[in-house]
Amino acid sequence: MTTTEKTTEKITEGVRVRNAHKAFGPHPVLKGIDLDLAPGTVTVVIGPSGSGKSTLLRTLNHLETLDLGYVSVAGELIGVREHDGRLHELSPRQVRRQRARIGFVAQSFNLFPHLTVAANVAEPLLAHKVAGWDAAYTKAYDLLDRVGLKHRCTDYPRQLSGGQQQRVAIARALALEPDLLLFDEPTSALDPELVGEVLAVIKELARSGRTLVVVSHEIGFARDVADHVVFIDGGVVVEQGPPAQVLDHPQNARTREFLGKVR
């Protein structure tokens, strides 16, 4: 495991989570999560509300730190408190660099309301100084084209539907060409008729060779695109495996009960 400054190495490791523990005050939320997600695969995480799905996703992106255990992405430690008896702390520069390699799409679109659609997508490129103004906007137009919104470049977020705003958020998450893309219930804030267009964009991304982790209750979507399904309940992984196994032949009674409710 290394935390040295390497940016060009071939990614042979995906996401690894070991013995992840996290409590908020006296309330344990993650109670020893272990996960291995191969690079280039699509993982759909399912589980009841409050089971720790968002917290888990946030630890992958430096938005939460673990109390115990560790997380690594592409062979680099992300968050760790105690592991091999030492305290591992990353420099702010390392954190910034790692976060640039991980795209995050939240439930609510979190676009900047005062920036145009194109400016929202160009913003990470300008903020991280990886492109000048011209190159950043050219890239933004390309990305917006990929999510079917090139014609809305000069609009402001409030002029778009929720589904369109979420597609802009996805384009923005792609701006820095992340290896890993995290989606936290990307369609749960949308009107039902807008869910399909966002799932279609994510499905397209699933074919792009990136590693995707999607928290979602869309079981049909999970069956279509997931290589791996993880069912979390009460801060532990109750069951995981290929969709045909977890979704169609769940072994655990809690998985069966949950699937009975969301289907």
Footprint of ligand ADP (CB under 6 A): 24, 29, 47, 49-55
User: Least distance from C-beta 46 to ligand ADP, angstroms?
Assistant: 10
> 216 phi and psi, to 5 degrees?
-160, 145
The residue among 47 and 243 lying less far from ligand ADP, judged by its C-beta, is: 47
Q: Which residue is nearest to Mg ion (CB)?
A: 54
Give the Å distances, CA to CA, from 258 to 2, 30, 42, 114, 253: 39, 19, 21, 41, 9
The residue among 58 and 152 lying less far from ligand ADP, judged by its C-beta, is: 58
Answer for the pair 196, 218: CB distance below 8 angstroms, yes or no. no
Q: Which residues bind Mg ion (CB under 5 A)?
A: 53-54
172 makes contact, choosing from Mg ion, ligand ADP, none, with CB < 5 to 8 Å by partner type, with none
214, 217, 168: which is closest to 192 by C-alpha? 217
24 makes contact, choosing from Mg ion, ligand ADP, none, with CB < 5 to 8 Å by partner type, with ligand ADP
Q: What is the DSSP letter of 151?
A: G
Q: What is the rounded end-to-end Cα distance, in angstroms, of the chain?
A: 41
Strands 228-233, 236-241: parallel, antiparallel or unpaired by DSSP?
Answer: antiparallel
User: Least distance from C-beta 161 to ligand ADP, angstroms?
Assistant: 25
The residue among 52 and 157 lying less far from ligand ADP, judged by its C-beta, is: 52
The residue among 53 and 167 lying less far from ligand ADP, judged by its C-beta, is: 53
